[in-house]
Structure 1
Amino acid sequence: MTTKPAKIILFAGGRLGSWALEEIEENDCLIGVDRGALFLLQHGKRPHLAIGDFDSVTREERELIRQNSEGMLTCDPVMKDLTDTEMGLRWALERRPAEIVLTGALGSRFDHALANVHLLAKALEAGVPCRIVDETNQIMLVEGHATIRRSRFSHVSLLPLTEKVTGITLTGFQYPLNNATLQTGDTLGISNVLLGETGTISVESGRLIAVQSSDESPFDA
């Protein structure tokens, strides 16, 4: 792309559907991570970059991706130290966009899903807003202060990413907290609800995983 993108969306090789396409806005930079690049092409979207080892596509599909992407970065499927998604995220962070969205980051592989949630810490440390989205969840990290906005996700849950999170104060929620502490294993922060259009989360120390979720998807699979 010739100009710095306001938003970079990564389409990874996990669970994808029409909900992922709803995230796309004009001038977004679209990154196809491994099989995520094929998903974009199958839905009429040209990846600005295809990245990964492409071990989850056929030789013919890989060639299709190569011919129809603006750029392509490949690596050996065995001799590598990073997952494809981390490779894509690092590339995106180097561009310093206003926001990064990870789609296809959740799926049947819990190890990959958990690793991708932990990848949000890299974006937090780089000062780039980043969230994971699928059909029934939106996940972000909170350190210091964050505003949660009403959306298609009806519930908000908070879980500690660090061993202990202190000074948690919630305003605008059905179940408020004032200077609370959450430790690994605590479930106090599960299934809260916004009272209005926004709610605020303040944290004195530590990092929270904020999960906005809904029980059913409004999208087709």
Structure 2
Amino acid sequence: MRKMGKRILIFTGGSLSDWAVEEIQDGDFLIGADRGAHFLIQHGKVPHVAVGDFDSVTEEEFGRIQRTSLETISCDALEKDLTDTELAFDLALSYDAEEIVIIGALGTRFDHSLANVHLLVKGLAKHVLCKIVDQKNEILLADRPMQIVKGKYSHVSLLPLTPQVTGITLEGFQYPLTNAVLTLGQSLGISNRLLDESGIVHLETGQLLIIKSRD
């Protein structure tokens, strides 16, 4: 296991624009998945690792990725079983990071977007803080109490990823819950608000998606 610093940012091939570059902080370790690597290079950033089958870039763009990235891991599109994002995520999990942020994980392909949300389960199993960030949302997955910071977001929604999530108690939210149960198919946890800059979501069993969003 190689120590790569506090945060690993994965840039993948969903919806990306200038906002995504603003997420980068000094000291971040940058992984570009397929076209995500090209995006980083276009914006003057050097990927520490570029990974994928690179079927979403031209031969010329791939050459630039190879020349610019500190390391390139290329695989055959027909022989791999995982998406490029999952390849990058598994690579990130193999490093000693405190946090993994996936940027560009949401886009026009709902199947890819949903599969990327499911990757958070892997991070939870490894006890690594993982989240998906786009221009309007931040998505986390919790199986234990978690402090939620409002930041730039106006709403917080809670959705069960397992059939049930039990023992949900909210501190610091406009609409309180006490020892509640959320079941798949319910919308009870949608569009809550923090009363101050932070609050706490308590839970006892299950896996709970916590989605911070803004219009």
Deviations 1:118-157 (A, max 9, x none): 0001001001100000000000001111010011111000
Matches within 5 A, 1:60-71: 60-71=60-71
Q: How does 1:9-158 map to 2 (within 5 A)?
A: 9-158=9-158
Answering whether residue 175 of structure 2 is matched by residue 204 of structure 1, we say no
Unaligned runs of 5+ in 2: none
Code of the residue aligned with 2:44 in structure 1: it is: G
The whole-number CA distance in structure 2 between the counterparts of 1:156 and 1:48 is 33
In structure 2, C-alpha distance between the alignment counterparts of 1:4 and 1:136, rounded to whole Å: 28
TM-score (norm 1): 0.95
Aligned residue number for residue 181 of structure 2 = 181
User: Which secondary structure does the structure 1 equivalent of 2:117 belong to?
Assistant: helix
- Residue 218 of structure 1 corresponds to none
CA deviation digits over 1:185-214, x for unaligned, max 9?
000000000000111001111011110000
Shift of 1:3: 5.5
Confirm or deny: 8 A CA contact 1:101 1:133 kept in the other structure.
yes
Uncovered stretches (5+) of structure 1, i.e. residues with no partner: 216-221
Do the aligned partners of 2:145 and 2:203 also contact (CA within 8 Å) in 1?
Answer: yes
Q: Distance in 2 between matches of 1:3 and 1:10?
A: 16
Among all aligned residue pairs of Structure 1 and Structure 2, give the percentage whose two residues are the same amino acid. Answer: 55
SS in structure 1 of the partner of residue 168 of structure 2: strand
Q: Is the 1:7–1:97 contact (alpha carbons within 8 Å) kept by the matching residues of 2? A: yes
Instruction: Report how far residue 4 of structure 1 moved.
Output: 3.0
Provide the rounded CA distance (Å) in 2 between the counterparts of 1:150 and 1:112: 27
Contact 1:130 1:140 in 2 (8 A): yes
Cα distance in 2 for residues equivalent to 1:137 and 1:28: 20
8 Å contact kept, 1:96–1:128: no
Question: Counterparts of 1:182 and 1:117 in 2: how far apart (Å)?
Answer: 19
Corresponding residue SS for 2:178: strand
Structure 2 residue identity aligned to 1:30: L
Q: Which amino acid aligns with 1:153?
A: Y
Q: Which runs of 4+ in 1 moved over 2 A?
A: none
Deviations 1:71-119 (A, max 9, x none): 0001111221111111101111111201000001000000000000000
Whether contact under 8 Å (2:170, 2:177) holds in the other structure is yes
State the Cα deviation string for residues 152-190 of structure 1 (Å, max 9, x = none): 111000000000111110110000100000101000000
Q: Residues of 1 paired with 2:116 and 2:107: CA distance?
A: 11
In 1, Cα distance between equivalents of 2:5 and 2:35: 23
